[in-house]
């Protein structure tokens, strides 16, 4: 036999000493018939044997090979191949006194000086960690692959529990789900067991639920961390809660792992072992990694569900929205459209902007009725410039002759370099026709108003002339003539008020800062001259500016005069108070007009904000006029009783300038 240096004879002691003291390998020297001639201490310690007990025995009959008959037969065949000069290597699992290991076993033929095999060197290298790491990596890959194709979270959980129980030492697995409404952990229908005893355990467990910190699942739920129990409790009063059931099922150790999502535990996985096992960090890391992957998968699935729900909602919105919505590409082709827009397209029979303008059946016009050219298209403008267009009105004449008005808005759509346009179309035909009716009605009223004012003024002048003639002929008729003259002037004032109403409603003036205190001072001065018997007072700061027009003074004059004219007191009293509400979200100036009269009749108070009926006639016209003038500057009028229950309080609220 040659040693590794090529020398014949038995290997020198120094070589065997170095080889056989290697603590990282099991080493033995065999005859070609498989008889063990020598073995190192590492191999002996693994099976707790003495060298004298194993040397001289067939190698396959010794304790290292007690696993199975198949493994012994494989070893005998391998020794025969090595004796024939072949280098043989295979992996085998070996049971030691304290542990089970996986070895890579190599049988190396040793030759004598003539080149004949006269011995076999057996060497076993412990590859348990590498094998386990590879198996766990493959398990993790399998779990990720299978759960990634699961359509639901429940299906993915079932796959995880089944796979872990089939490929690891765990004999039973289950999943627990939090019930947020009840505040307890409930059993899910997902579990895996290998025998009838496990089914019984499952049936018993189905009646359990756990509060946070209660039992192994509840403790993991509360802590959101994995827990390993090497020794399962057996006492009925133990907080494990299922001690009797666990003992009946034959479980010795258990581990629970949380699956988290957005910082909360959404699933607790529990696995049981049939034999006692101390905390295995590598296996625990594997389960934690699987749980993390499950959390990621659940997050992805929930995101997909949310996205699907959002798409369904968008589809429902597009299908039912009363507004026509469409997405056009850079060429003006319709990419996506709402139900309303599709109905419009179906009626026109077109599929793009170019078809719309080239159509012989559909005609487009501007809001003024002029033919619309492609260059005037709002969508084309947005496509070419990237600018939004809002509130463009156009008319469409359909093949059946019907003409309808539409309001268009466009906005650019930018999506990773791909341009396009979002187009919204609102049918404003009814509004346009109503506006046309209102315009014609307003024109008729304007003409009628001008004619009436002209006729009233002409006839008042005639009345005034004949009144003067009547007084000249009969001085005793002067009191009657005065009444006639005053009534005629009232008609003129009513005509002037009507002209002011028309200009206020038809030609609204832009507002500007107005000092309401100065306005009231001028207004009250005029009133005092007209009604010297009345007592009118003003309480106001030095200045209070509002956003209004000078026409607002006429509204105040109407309100104050109304308080005097309709006052049956011997001395009509009107108190005007001005205050500022600077603390409100919208700064305001409040003007309160309080009188000591009988109060405004309810039917006149109801006029404000409602349609005037023929029975009201001109009653409350001053209130109407004041309401219109105040409303024109975005103000409000409120009418109620005075604080003492006597008289009337009219409150006018106006938008103040920031300085006020």
What confidence score (pLDDT) does residue 416 get?
56
- Where residue 480 falls among pLDDT bands split at 50, 70, 90? confident
The whole-number average pLDDT for the span 156-184 is 89
Do residues 159 and 142 make contact, with C-beta atoms less than 8 angstroms apart? no
CATH code of the region 509-655: 3.30.565.10
Give percent of the chain with pLDDT exceeding 90: 22
Statement: residue 469 has pLDDT above 50:
yes
Q: How confident is the model at residue 245 (pLDDT cuts 50, 70, 90)?
A: confident
pLDDT band per the 50, 70, 90 thresholds, residue 223 = very high
Under CATH, which number does the domain 133-301 receive? 3.30.450.40
243 pLDDT band, cuts 50/70/90, is confident
* pLDDT at residue 563, as a whole number: 87
Query: Which CATH code is given to the segment(s) 13-126?
Result: 3.30.450.20
- Inform me whether the pLDDT recorded for 614 exceeds 50: no
- How far is residue 376's CA from residue 392's CA, in Å, rounded to a whole number? 10
Q: Give the model confidence (pLDDT) of 536-547 as tens digits.
A: 999 999 999 998
Distances in Å between the Cα of 617 and the Cα atoms of 486, 608, 614, 630, 657 are 20, 14, 6, 21, 37
Which tokens go with 644? 């003492």
Would you place residue 440 in the very low, low, confident or very high pLDDT band (cuts 50, 70, 90)?
A: confident
User: What is the model's pTM?
Assistant: 0.46
Beta bridge partners of 178: 185
In the predicted model, what is the mean pLDDT of the chain?
81
Mean pLDDT of the 350-379 span: 71
Average pLDDT over residues 29-34: 92
Which phi and psi angles does 91 have, rounded to 5°?
A: -100, 145
DSSP calls for 81-150: HHHTT--EEEEEEEE-SS-EEEEEEEEEEEE-TTS-EEEEEEEEEE-HHHHHHHHHHHHHHHHHHHHHT-
Higher pLDDT, 191 or 414: 191
Q: Which of 617, 618, 639 is nearest to 630 (CA)?
A: 639
Q: Per-domain residue ranges for the chain?
A: 13-126, 133-301, 324-427, 439-505, 509-655
Burial class of residue 146 in the structure, from the number of CB atoms within 10 Å of its CB (0-12 exposed, 13-18 middle, 19+ buried)? middle
Same CATH topology for 133-301 and 324-427: the answer is yes
Architecture label for domain 324-427:
2-Layer Sandwich (3.30)
Q: Worst-scoring range by mean pLDDT, 79-88, 174-183, 189-198, 599-608?
A: 599-608
């Amino acid at each position: 036999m040659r040693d590794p240096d090529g020398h014949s004879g038995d290997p020198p002691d120094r070589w065997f000493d170095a080889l056989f003291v290697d603590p990282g390998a099991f080493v033995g020297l065999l005859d070609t018939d498989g008889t063990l001639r020598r073995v190192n201490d590492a191999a002996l310690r693994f099976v707790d044997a003495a060298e004298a007990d194993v040397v001289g025995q067939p190698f396959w009959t010794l304790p290292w090979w007690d696993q199975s008959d198949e493994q012994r037969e494989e070893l005998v065949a391998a020794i025969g191949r090595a004796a024939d000069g072949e280098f043989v290597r295979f992996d085998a699992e070996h049971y030691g006194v304290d542990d089970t290991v996986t070895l890579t076993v190599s049988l190396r033929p040793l030759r004598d000086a003539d080149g004949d095999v006269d011995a076999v060197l057996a060497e076993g290298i412990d590859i348990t960690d590498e094998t386990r790491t590879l198996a766990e990596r493959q398990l993790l890959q399998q779990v990720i692959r299978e759960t990634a194709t699961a359509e639901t979270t429940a299906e993915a959980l079932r796959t995880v529990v089944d796979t872990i129980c089939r490929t690891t030492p765990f004999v039973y697995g289950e999943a627990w789900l939090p019930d947020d409404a009840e505040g307890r952990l409930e059993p899910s229908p997902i579990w895996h067991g290998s025998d009838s005893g496990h089914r019984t355990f499952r049936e018993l467990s189905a009646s359990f639920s756990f509060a946070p910190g209660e039992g192994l699942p509840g403790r993991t739920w509360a802590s959101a961390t994995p827990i390993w129990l090497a020794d399962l409790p057996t006492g009925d009063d133990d907080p494990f809660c299922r001690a009797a059931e666990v003992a009946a099922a034959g479980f010795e150790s258990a581990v629970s792992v949380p699956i988290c999502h957005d910082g909360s535990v959404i699933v607790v996985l529990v696995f049981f072992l049939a034999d006692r096992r101390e905390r295995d960090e590598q296996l625990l890391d594997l389960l934690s990694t699987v749980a993390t992957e499950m959390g990621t998968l659940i997050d992805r699935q929930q995101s997909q569900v949310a996205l699907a729900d959002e798409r369904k909602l968008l589809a429902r919105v597009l299908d039912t929205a009363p507004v026509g919505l469409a997405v056009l590409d850079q060429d003006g082709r319709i990419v996506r459209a709402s139900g309303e827009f599709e109905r419009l397209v179906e009626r026109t029979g077109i599929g793009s902007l170019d078809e719309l303008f080239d159509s012989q059946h559909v005609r487009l016009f501007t809001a003024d009725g002029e033919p619309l050219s492609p260059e005037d298209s709002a969508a084309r403008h947005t496509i070419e410039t990237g600018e939004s267009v809002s509130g463009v009105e156009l008319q469409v004449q359909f093949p059946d002759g019907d003409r309808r008005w539409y309001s268009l808005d466009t906005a650019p759509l930018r999506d990773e370099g791909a341009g396009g346009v979002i187009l919204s179309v609102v049918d404003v035909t009814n509004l346009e026709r109503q506006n046309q009716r209102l315009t014609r009605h307003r024109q008729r009223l304007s003409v009628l108003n001008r004619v009436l004012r002209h006729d009233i003024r002409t006839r008042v002048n005639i009345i005034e002339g004949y009144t003067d003639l009547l007084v000249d002929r009969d001085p005793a008729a002067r009191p009657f003539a005065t009444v006639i003259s005053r009534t005629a002037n009232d008609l003129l004032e009513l005509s002037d008020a009507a002209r002011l109403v028309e200009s206020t409603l038809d030609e609204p003036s832009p507002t500007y800062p107005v000092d309401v205190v100065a306005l009231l001072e001028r207004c009250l001065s005029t009133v005092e001259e007209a009604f010297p018997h009345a007592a009118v007072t003003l309480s106001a700061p030095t200045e209070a500016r509002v956003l209004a027009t000078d026409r607002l003074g006429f509204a105040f004059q109407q309100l104050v005069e109304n308080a005097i004219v309709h006052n049956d007191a011997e001395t009509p009293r009107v108190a005007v108070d001005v205050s500022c509400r600077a603390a409100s979200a919208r700064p305001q100036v409040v003007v309160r007009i309080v009188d000591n009269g009988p109060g405004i009749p309810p039917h006149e108070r109801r006029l404000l904000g409602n349609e005037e009926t023929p029975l009201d006639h001109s009653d409350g016209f001053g209130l109407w006029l004041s309401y219109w003038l105040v409303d024109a500057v975005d103000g409000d009028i409120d009418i109620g009783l005075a604080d003492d229950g006597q008289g009337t309080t009219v409150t006018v609220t106006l938008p103040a300038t920031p300085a006020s």
